[in-house]
């Protein structure tokens, strides 16, 4: 029996896609948090020089 049978390939791909989705979701949540922080910072500190 070979290691590259359909069942093993599917299991590996599912695991891989789950990890990729997790990474993507983490990046999106970081971006959202950063947006919130920047927004709060800008509200509290109006731009200087005006």
What digits encode the pLDDT tens for the residues 2-49?
678 999 999 999 999 999 999 999 999 999 999 999 999 988 887 765
**What's the rounded Cα separation, in Å, for the pair 9 and 3?**
9
Provide the pLDDT for residue 28: 97
Please state whether the predicted TM-score (pTM) of the whole model is above 0.85: no
Backbone Cα Rg of the chain = 22
pLDDT band with cut points at 50, 70 and 90 for residue 50:
low
Provide the pLDDT for residue 15: 96
**What's the rounded Cα separation, in Å, for the pair 27 and 3?**
33
């Amino acid at each position: 029996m070979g290691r590259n049978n359909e069942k093993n390939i599917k299991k590996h791909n599912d695991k891989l896609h789950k990890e990729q989705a997790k990474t993507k979701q983490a990046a999106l949540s970081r971006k959202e948090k950063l947006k919130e922080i920047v927004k709060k910072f800008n509200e509290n500190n109006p731009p200087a020089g005006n």
